[in-house]
C-alpha cells in the first residue's frame, strides 16, 4: 500500500512540476448545466428515509402504477449516467435513477463509518419502500452493481430481476484478484483511496482533469465516437463533484471495503443478466467466467465488444436491447 501511495504521489509531483500554479487551480460550478433539468429524462423528487433520516434525490420517468425499475449508478457518477435508460424504459416501467448516499443532490454525511455496506443497503431498501413498492427490477453499474449484487443476495424478496453492468459478484472479485496479479494491479487505486484527503485533492487538481479523463481519455473513456460526452454532459459530472465536500462520500465507499464483514451467503435467487464492456481497464472480463455458479436462476452473460467500463453510456442502444430481451424473456 505504501508503494502504491508513493506512485500516486509521484504522479502528482510530476503534474505540479509541469503545470506549477495551474495544477492547484479549480473552480466550483455555481449553477447546473441545462441537461440536468432536461424534462425528457423525467421529474426530480426527494424522499427522506425513516431509518437514517437522510434525504435522497432521484429522477423518475414512467407512470407510478407501473413496475419499478431502480437504477443504481457507480463512481464517479450520478443519476445522469442512466439518461439513456430513463428515456428508453419509461414506456413499460416506473424508472427511477437515484443519487446514492454521498452523491449528487442526496445527503452526504462526512464520516467514514456512515458508508458501511449495511447502511448503503438500508438506503436501497428504504428507497424501494418510500417509492411505494415492495420489490423491483434492480439495475446497477460499478459500485451500484456491487450494491445490487449484495441486496439481491441478502434481500431476495426485494429483487424480481437483477441486471448488472461491469461489476463482479462480490465473492468473485476478491477471489479473482487473489489469483490474478494483473487484476490486483488494476485495482491498486483502491489502496490509494484509503488515504485520507489526498485522493480528493488529486481529483480537484487542474480543474478536475482526472474526472474528465475518466470519461474522455483514449485509455479509459467512452469508446463509441457517437456517444462521447458533450461538454454539457461532462459539466453535469463536474458540477456535482466540484461542490465543497462532494468527493468525501464517494471515496468513503472505498474506505470501508476492508472493514465490511464477509458475507455468509453468496447465492442470487433472481433471474440475472450481466452486461460487460470488454474494454474496461479497471475490471478484467475474465471475472465473468466465475459468476454463474452463484446464480440459482436464469443467468445470462452478454459481453459488449469494444465498450468501455461506462457500458450503458458507451453503447446505450446495445445495452437497452439486451435489457429488453432479458426482461421480456423472463416476464412473470
- Active-site residues: which are they? 142, 254, 309
DSSP code string of 34-70 = GGGG-GGG-EEEEEE-TTT--EEEEEEES-TTSPEEE
Grid coordinates belonging to 179: 489469483
What is the side-by-side order of every strand in the sheet holding 136-141?
43-48, 55-61, 94-98, 68-72, 136-141, 159-165, 272-277, 299-304
Nearest one of 243, 247, 155 to 197, comparing CA atoms: 247
Write down the residue that cell numbers 450503458 correspond to. 312
Find out whether 141 and 166 touch, Cβ atoms under 8 Å.
Answer: yes
Cα–Cα distances (Å) from 218 to 9, 81, 235, in that order, read 23, 19, 19
Give CA angle at 81 (290, 25), nearest 5°: 110
DSSP 306: T
* Residue 23 phi, psi dihedral angles, 5° rounding: -60, -25
Q: Give the H/E segment covering residue 143.
A: helix 143-154
Amino acid at each position: 500500500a505504501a508503494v502504491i501511495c508513493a506512485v500516486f504521489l509521484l504522479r502528482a509531483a510530476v503534474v505540479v512540476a509541469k503545470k506549477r500554479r495551474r495544477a492547484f487551480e479549480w473552480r466550483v460550478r455555481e449553477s447546473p448545466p441545462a441537461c440536468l433539468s432536461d424534462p425528457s429524462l423525467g421529474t426530480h423528487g426527494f424522499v427522506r428515509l425513516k431509518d437514517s433520516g437522510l434525504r435522497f434525490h432521484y429522477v423518475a420517468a414512467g407512470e407510478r402504477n407501473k413496475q419499478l425499475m431502480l437504477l443504481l449508478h457507480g463512481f464517479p457518477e450520478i443519476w445522469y449516467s442512466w439518461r439513456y435508460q430513463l428515456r428508453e424504459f419509461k414506456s413499460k416501467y416506473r424508472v427511477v435513477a437515484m443519487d446514492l448516499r454521498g452523491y449528487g443532490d442526496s445527503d452526504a454525511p462526512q464520516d467514514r463509518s456512515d458508508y458501511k455496506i449495511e447502511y448503503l443497503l438500508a438506503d436501497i431498501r428504504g428507497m424501494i419502500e418510500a417509492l411505494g413498492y415492495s420489490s423491483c427490477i434492480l439495475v446497477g453499474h460499478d459500485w451500484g452493481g456491487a450494491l445490487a449484487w449484495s441486496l439481491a443476495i441478502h434481500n431476495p424478496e426485494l429483487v424480481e430481476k437483477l441486471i448488472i453492468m461491469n461489476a463482479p459478484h462480490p465473492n468473485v472479485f476478491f477471489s479473482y484478484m487473489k489469483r490474478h496479479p494483473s487484476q490486483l494491479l488494476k485495482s491498486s487505486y483502491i489502496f490509494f483511496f484509503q488515504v485520507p484527503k489526498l485522493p480528493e485533492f488529486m481529483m480537484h487538481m487542474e480543474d478536475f482533469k482526472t474526472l474528465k479523463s475518466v470519461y474522455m481519455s483514449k485509455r479509459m473513456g467512452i469508446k463509441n465516437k457517437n456517444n462521447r460526452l458533450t461538454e454539457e454532459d461532462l459539466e453535469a459530472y463536474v458540477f456535482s463533484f466540484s461542490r465543497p465536500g462532494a468527493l468525501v462520500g464517494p471515496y468513503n465507499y472505498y474506505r470501508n471495503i476492508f472493514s465490511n464483514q464477509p458475507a455468509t451467503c453468496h447465492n442470487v435467487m433472481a433471474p440475472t443478466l450481466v452486461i460487460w464492456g470488454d474494454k474496461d481497464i479497471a475490471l478484467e472480463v475474465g471475472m465473468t467466467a466465475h459468476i454463474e455458479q452463484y446464480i440459482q436462476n436464469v443467468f445470462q452473460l452478454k459481453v459488449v465488444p469494444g465498450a468501455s467500463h461506462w457500458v450503458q453510456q458507451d453503447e446505450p442502444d446495445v445495452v437497452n436491447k439486451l435489457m429488453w430481451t432479458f426482461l421480456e424473456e423472463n416476464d412473470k
